[in-house]
Amino acid sequence: MRGGVDNARAGRRIRRPAARSSRRGVGYVGVALVGALAAAGLAACGTSSAGTGPVTLNFYMFPDSSGAIQEAANNCGAQSHGKYTILYNKLPTAADQQRLQMARRVAAGDASLDILGLDVTWEAEFAQAGWIRPWTGVYKQQAIAGTLKGPLQTAIWHGQLVAVPYNSNTQLLWYRSDLVKTPPKTWAQMISDAEQLARQGKAHLIEIQGAQYEGTVVWFNTLTVSAGGSILNPASTAAQLGPPAVKALSIMKQLATSSVADPSLPVQMEDQNRLAMEAGSAAFELNYPFVYPAMKADNPKLFKVFKWAPYPSVYPGRPARVTIGGADLAVSSTSQHPQLAFQAILCLRNAENQLNAAIKGGLPPTLASVYNNPKMQAAYPFRHLILAQVNSGAVRPKTPLYQVVSVQISHQVSPPSSIDPRTTEPGLHTGINNALQGKGLTP
């Protein structure tokens, strides 16, 4: 998911989830359209409190059933010594609706928005539109201190810190140790191992996200960056792609047309991958850590041989750079209490609250110190692997037009079996450049 996948918040939760919403989004809205939608009848919902009592800071974030976010809001209000209280407003479950609701309201000048929970692909759009405030001075120093460099990159636009990483996520290689004694280190090895299992008549499928949505964009981005490339140029003004993207497309094609691809690959998302692995038909799974407690609850027998390893690399000796998900916290440009909002964000994502969110809500931390807390051991026996991959992780293309760039990619790489690396790469190049120039927004 940008889920995040991140998204899903790209696997944002470690608890057993419901099926994840599409992370493809609804396409780039743009300041003019958002303003038009707002003017068409969107009313601001509530205002921050004024007067002699504590200020009410309105905090908009994805819905969290674990209670960790609400606890953080309560704790921070209490610790502010009467300066503010935090009202946690739950956004819709679907990521595209979360983005649209906040964009509409801030573009309309809604002063009731104070703290915004952003998917890690929205920062460029919100910052470029002037919808969020940059972090400067002592608040910036405090926000950066101890933050992992991978997640920190998601919160930077044009060299400026525009948000603060709240949680992150990364995919691991999950495998069955009763079938695989030594986990493969590369994609080539993994496919070869799976093919050998198939010849032996054993469970052998490789589970990964192949549907036409954000999860497949994450797969393509991970392979491209791991091959030494990038989807966009450093200035985010044009497609870069080239040989690394061709290599990524070749791997996707190779898996999709092999005997070890799940027959449902063209429609699979994270939760379908989880279910297939739990059913015992797969030997390998590329997925987020939520699959670990789910396997423990759903198939205790298989859980005993359910192991994890680093995400497979594209080339031997070159570790993969896995696309990270998660969410960042930003101060709305329309907030009437920006200084208090900055202070509240620093509290919401402090070590204590990140630890609680990791254990209760399954949200991998963005502060390095939390990974060393002994309380992390039970929930995250693989925490050091997550730490390493998140810290060196790849971010998705940073552009205010990410929504349409993502749509272009997902439509051209799914179904993966239809990929022809020689023609798909130039097609992607043209489609992405058109998207960046506002042409052909619908593939």
DSSP annotation of 315 reads B
Which burial class, exposed, middle or buried, applies to 78 when counting CB atoms under 10 A from its CB (0-12, 13-18, 19+)? exposed
CB neighbours (10 Å) of residue 381? 11
Fold adopted by 172-309 = D-Maltodextrin-Binding Protein; domain 2 (3.40.190)
Contact between residue 262 and residue 284 where contact means Cβ atoms under 8 Å apart: no
Ranges of residues in the chain whose predicted pLDDT is under 50 = 1-50, 442-443
Instruction: Compute the distance between CA of residue 48 and CA of residue 55 in angstroms, rounded to an integer.
Output: 7
Which burial class, exposed, middle or buried, applies to 221 when counting CB atoms under 10 A from its CB (0-12, 13-18, 19+)? buried
Which pLDDT value is given to residue 63? 95
Contact between residue 321 and residue 150 where contact means Cβ atoms under 8 Å apart: no
Q: What is the pLDDT of residues 382-413, one digit of tens each?
A: 999 999 999 999 999 999 999 999 999 999 99
pTM for the model stands at 0.87
Name residue, tokens 């008549």: 201
The domain covering 30-169+325-391 belongs, at the CATH homologous superfamily level, to Periplasmic binding protein-like II (3.40.190.10)
CB neighbours (10 Å) of residue 238? 13
Which pLDDT value is given to residue 439? 80
| CATH 3.40.190.10 domain range(s) in the chain | 30-169+325-391, 172-309
Strand 160-161 and strand 172-176: pairing?
unpaired
Looking at the DSSP bridge assignments, the partners of residue 304 are: none
Instruction: Compute the distance between CA of residue 356 and CA of residue 399 in angstroms, rounded to an integer.
Output: 32
Which pLDDT value is given to residue 46? 42
Sign for the pseudo-dihedral over CA of 260, 264, 266, 271:
negative
Instruction: Compute the distance between CA of residue 5 and CA of residue 63 in angstroms, rounded to an integer.
Output: 15
Which pLDDT value is given to residue 378? 84
Consecutive H or E run containing 160: strand 160-161
Consecutive H or E run containing 276: helix 270-279
Greatest pairwise CA separation for the chain in angstroms: 74
End-to-end distance of the chain based on CA atoms, in angstroms? 21
Instruction: Compute the distance between CA of residue 302 and CA of residue 178 in angstroms, rounded to an integer.
Output: 9
DSSP annotation of 296 reads H
Which pLDDT value is given to residue 18? 34
Which pLDDT value is given to residue 379? 86
